[in-house]
Structures are given as C-alpha cells and as structure tokens.
Amino acid sequence: MTLLSVRAMTAGYGPVDVLRDVSLEVERGGVVAVLGSNGAGKTTLLRALSGLLPDCRGEITFDGTSLRGMRAERIARLGLVHVPEGRGTFPDLTVEENLAVGAYLNGDRSAARRETGRVYELFPVLKERRRQPAGLLSGGEQQMLALGRALAGGPRMLLLDEPSMGLAPLVVRQIFDALRAVVTEEGLTCLLVEQNASMALSMAGYAYILTVGAVTAQGPAADLADDETVRRAYLAL
C-alpha cells in the first residue's frame, strides 16, 4: 500500500526550479532513502512535501489525500511530520516544552503522555536535561530533540532531513539506532534524505538518487549499495 506518492513534481524558489519532474513513492511501513550531493535538491524536496514551498507543481498524495496547496500546519496535523535539517528546535523553550509543542499533534492527552515517555526512553539524555532551554543543548542533543519532538506527536510518517549532518559518528549511531527501533517496533514510515549514504542505505528498503534536481537512479537499497556507479559517486568506495 502506497502511503505517499509524488508525481511529476517541479518545485523551487521564485523563478528558479530546483526540482524537475520528480516522482517517487513510499510504501506504508517502509523506509525510503533519497541520496544526493549538496545542492541536488534534497531539502527542497522535503520542503515541498511538507507545504513550505507554496508554488510547487505536480501531484502529491498522502494516504489518499491530495496535498496540493495545503498549508504546512495542516499537513503536519495529517501526521506527515518534517524534521528539518540542523536543529529546528525552539531555543528559549525547555526540552520538556519543546516536546510538549510536538505532542499537541496527538488528539488526546494520554497519547501525548505516552509518546513523550517513549521519547525519553529512546533518548535518556533528554530526560536528564528536560528543564534546560533547548538552546543550551549540544548539536547531537538538539538533533535528538528535533526528532523527539516529531515522534512525540505520534506521526504517521516522518520526513527526515539529514539527521546525521555535522554530528560525531557515535551520536549518529545513537540517532539511527533510535530511528531503527521505532521503524521496526512501530512500523513507522520514513522518507530519509541523507548525504551519509552508507548509513541511509543500511536502513532503507528502497532508494532514489537525486542529481541536480532530477531522479537519476532508483532501486532496492541493497542493489544500489552494490551498484558500481553509485558506490563510486556516493559511498566513496
């Protein structure tokens, strides 16, 4: 069953098209990776999906609902939650308050409490620092908080923008372990945009390769990881 489908999407900023004619599909419960180098349009793709780019053309459907022209806050309330690149937390709110803002996406309070408890289980450091302003957290903790805030809302699908960016390998492992836990235990659907291709391919079932705004290759993640051109271009092997 397809949860998210994108057909012939063209998007950009003002007169500049960054993405041209991009189509992709994400199965319910699946993890799909989008790989590409800097400037390939990965972030633009996610911004278009979450409604932050008002004039994008093409058809986007999420669980049968067309997202065309829908405002970002409405899309978030549908359960399609975007974890933006690099921080994206509320610096003067405490960790607890940041999670509470995310948890408001849950319909009821008991679900909000349950999901927030689950986030503290996944990232114990957030529980230790729950009364501190988010602005005082380290980069890795901020990334955990950004992901935690999305999870606290009980999302149906996550759009993850480079969760590994600028972080130490150990922290990257921690974040991906947590992600893998929610994906395997709860069957959460994810669209994962990454420069760290080996990490992304190890988690994803299917992957697309984006080159200067267009999809240039796609296939099961395992096949792409073995593909000679992909290995040379994105895995630096």
Partner 1 sequence: MQQLVQTLLDGVGSGMIYGSLALALVLIHQATRIPNFAQGEMAMLSTFVAWELIDRGLPWIAAVAITLALSMAGGYGLQRGLIRWVERSPHLTQVMVTLGVFMVINGVAGLVWGYLPKTLDGPVSSGSLRIAGVTTSWQVVGMVLVTVGMLLLLYLLFSRSRLGLQLRAAAQNPTSARLAGINVGRAYGIGWGLSAVVGAVAGVMVAPQTGLEPNFMFPILLYAFAGATVGGFSSPGGAVVGGVLVGLVEALTATYVGFIGTELSLTVALVTIVIVLLVRPDGLFGKKEVARV
- Which residues here bind partner 1, judged by CB under 8 A? 50-52, 71-73, 76-77, 81-84, 88-93, 97, 100-102, 104-105, 149, 153
CB closer to partner 1, 155 vs 213:
155
CB closer to partner 1, 105 vs 199:
105
Kindly state the smallest distance separating residue 105's Cβ from partner 1, in Å.
5
Kindly state the smallest distance separating residue 75's Cβ from partner 1, in Å.
9
How would you classify the pairing of strands 16-27 and 2-13?
A: antiparallel
CB closer to partner 1, 59 vs 92:
92
For CA atoms 46, 50, 56, 58, give the dihedral sign.
positive
DSSP letters spanning the chain: -EEEEEEEEEEEETTEEEEEEEEEEEETT-EEEEE--TTSSHHHHHHHHTT-SS--EEEEEETTEE-TT--HHHHHHTTEEEE-SS--S-TTSBHHHHHHHHHTTSSSHHHHHHHHHHHHHH-HHHHHTTTSBGGGS-HHHHHHHHHHHHHHT--SEEEEE-TTTT--HHHHHHHHHHHHHHHHHH--EEEEEES-HHHHHHH-SEEEEEETTEEEEEEEHHHHHH-HHHHHHHS--
Kindly state the smallest distance separating residue 43's Cβ from partner 1, in Å.
12
Kindly state the smallest distance separating residue 18's Cβ from partner 1, in Å.
17
Kindly state the smallest distance separating residue 138's Cβ from partner 1, in Å.
18
- The closest alpha carbon to 218, from 230, 236, 235, belongs to 230
Kindly state the smallest distance separating residue 22's Cβ from partner 1, in Å.
21
CB closer to partner 1, 29 vs 90:
90
CB closer to partner 1, 93 vs 165:
93
CB closer to partner 1, 36 vs 102:
102
